[in-house]
Amino acid sequence: MRVLHVAVEIYPLVKTGGLADVVAALPPALAARGLDTRVLLPGLPAILNGVSEQKRVIRFGPAFGAAVITLRIGRLPDSGLIAYIIDAPYLYRRDGNPYLGPDGHDWRDNHRRFALLGWVAAHLATGELDRNWQPDVVHAHDWHAGLAPAYIAQNPASHTATV
């Protein structure tokens, strides 16, 4: 079984709370049980700097306000699991935490930033972005990944389950 975990945080790269710990622990635990497990993350600076062996999968755009978006694939530092990274500098390369700017207020375009995350997950689920891998299940972790199941449900040809 192939499982794609979609999240904004993963320990030790980006952590604001317990979610980062869950996303760092659950995919490797499933992989240890024989599942083909991968993670999809936004291209926040700490993620781009922390994921090794990065290669470009596909480049597209404009979408969600970003002119150019590059989907990259690499390895997570602790587990060695495969991670997809959405490199959209206009949306993700910023100071502050994933949800708030340095001033402590929500980023005004969070709706676009996290809509892109869900949209990419849905298109990975259909095999459109990486022809070499397609998940059977997409696990959307927390509110910022919540649009992934909605986008997947909009495709009548999709057989991908969602959590």
**Confidence (pLDDT) at 96:** 81
- Cα within 13 Å of Cα(33), Cβ side: 9
User: CA-CA distance, 23 to 18, in Å (whole number)?
Assistant: 9
Element at 75 (helix H, strand E): strand 69-75
User: CA-CA distance, 139 to 118, in Å (whole number)?
Assistant: 11
What residue type is assigned to position 66 of the chain? A
**Confidence (pLDDT) at 156:** 86
**Confidence (pLDDT) at 53:** 98
pLDDT tens over the chain, length 163 residues: 999 999 999 999 999 999 999 999 999 999 999 999 999 999 999 999 999 999 999 999 999 999 999 999 999 999 999 999 999 999 999 988 999 999 999 999 999 999 999 999 999 999 999 999 999 999 999 999 999 999 999 998 889 999 9
Q: Which residues of 16-43 are buried (b: 16+ CB within 10 A; e: fewer)?
A: eeebbebbbebbbebbeeeeebbbbbbb
107 alpha-carbon distance from chain centroid? 18
Q: Which residues of 75-99 are buried (b: 16+ CB within 10 A; e: fewer)?
A: ebeebebbbbbbbbebbbeeeebbb
Residue with tokens 């969070």: 110
User: CA-CA distance, 78 to 154, in Å (whole number)?
Assistant: 35
Q: How many distinct helices (H) and strands (E) make up the chain?
A: 5, 7
